[in-house]
Amino acid sequence: MPSLRDLKRRTESVKNTQQITSAMKMVSAAKLRRSQDAILSARPFAKKMLQVLNSLATRADMDAHPLLTVREPKNIDVIVISADKGLCGSFNANIMKKAERFLGGLEAESLDLQIVGKKSRDYFRRRAYNIRSEFVDIFRDLNYENAAAIARPLIASYHEPDSEAGQENTVDAVYLIYNEFKNVIQQDVVVEQLLPIQKLDLDNDTERQDYIYEPSAEEIYNAVIPRHVEYQVWHALLESAAAEHAARMTAMDNASKNAAELIEDLTLTMNKVRQATITREILEIVSGAEAIQ
């Protein structure tokens, strides 16, 4: 039988943990709301960009752009987006599992990883993978520059397949692995092909305006396409951030519930022990008195 004092001490410590987990839950809830807002406010940009691409579609030769040309995927680059911090359930584990399975299934001459997030960096560093670049600690203050910094080198190395100098840097296909925010209790790991750009989801029925283009339709088109790729990375970062907060919120909610249960159990045992002690003491007094008589 554990002593009363031990039980009390344990209850206290569980209570402290519960306080921490419930505070973390609330923090995550606030952050989640902010991340969701960020996703929402990124939407008009995407919508507008598609509209512009739509209206450019007839003017420029859509398939001629280098980012749309499909090559034999010899050199593959995979962007893995995880979180910087743990304590968010299976969020990070899911990403690693999926990423490793996906990487195992790829047949390529060379495979490079772009790592976003401390957790996946730590994981892949310990394994035999070639990490091309790391982006750590960007989620605290996430901005579009981060997405651009990830996407731009890839776009550049996709552009020049035959340049001699950049031979080892060329890329034939780029994939993106991240957690998608479905809802608060569900996050799905998705694998997306970033480059070559998949057929753009253009709607051919909308009425097209007859614009005057400056400098020219092709040039605007060529300028927009890389932004489209950057935006996709940005979108993935936002999704992942929201999913992370949601996962942490759920995990911390569960932890708080478990702590409450544990406290209840401990309190019950504590009361039992106390009762037992009282009973024993009474018994001792009574039997002591009996002995004297």
Partner 1 sequence: MDTQLELEIVTPTGVVVRENVDEVEAPGVMGHFGVLPGHRPFMSQLRAGQLRYRTGNDNHYVAVHWGFAEVLPDKVTILVETAEIAGDIDLERAESAKKRAEERMQQFGAAYDADKVKAEYDRAQARIDAVEQARKQS
Residues at the contact surface with partner 1, assessed by CB under 8 A:
38, 41-42, 44-45, 48-49, 52, 55, 143-144, 147-148, 209-215, 219-220, 223-224, 227, 231, 234
Minimum Å gap between C-beta 116 and partner 1 is 17
Please tell me the distance from the alpha carbon of residue 241 to that of residue 247, in angstroms, as a whole number: 10
Based on the residue annotation, tell me whether 188 is a catalytic residue of this protein: no
Minimum Å gap between C-beta 208 and partner 1 is 10
**How far lies 36's CA from each of 27, 40, 141, 155, 184, in Å?**
14, 6, 15, 28, 10
Please tell me the distance from the alpha carbon of residue 129 to that of residue 111, in angstroms, as a whole number: 8
Torsion over CA of 181, 78, 169 and 125, rounded to 10 degrees? 110
Tokens 């910087």 found at: 84
Q: 112, exposed or middle or buried, with CB in 10 Å at 0-12, 13-18, 19+?
A: buried
Q: Which is nearer to partner 1, 158 or 234 (CB)?
A: 234
Report how far apart the first and last C-alpha atoms of the chain are (Å, whole number).
33
Minimum Å gap between C-beta 157 and partner 1 is 16
Question: Which residue from 159, 139, 153 is spatially nearest to 230, judged by alpha carbons?
Answer: 153
How long is the chain?
293
- In whole angstroms, what separates CA 196 from the centre of its chain? 23
User: What's the CA angle centered on 54, arms 52 and 60, to 5 degrees?
Assistant: 90
Structure tokens at 144: 């579009």
- Write down the catalytic residue from 32, 78, 88, 266: 88
Q: Which is nearer to partner 1, 217 or 260 (CB)?
A: 217
CB 142 within 8 A of CB 37: no
Q: Which is nearer to partner 1, 113 or 154 (CB)?
A: 154
Q: Which is nearer to partner 1, 102 or 144 (CB)?
A: 144
Q: Which is nearer to partner 1, 10 or 152 (CB)?
A: 152
Minimum Å gap between C-beta 256 and partner 1 is 33
Minimum Å gap between C-beta 164 and partner 1 is 18
Please tell me the distance from the alpha carbon of residue 33 to that of residue 30, in angstroms, as a whole number: 5
Q: Which is nearer to partner 1, 48 or 125 (CB)?
A: 48
Minimum Å gap between C-beta 231 and partner 1 is 6
CB 106 within 8 A of CB 74: no
Q: Give catalytic residue positions.
A: 88
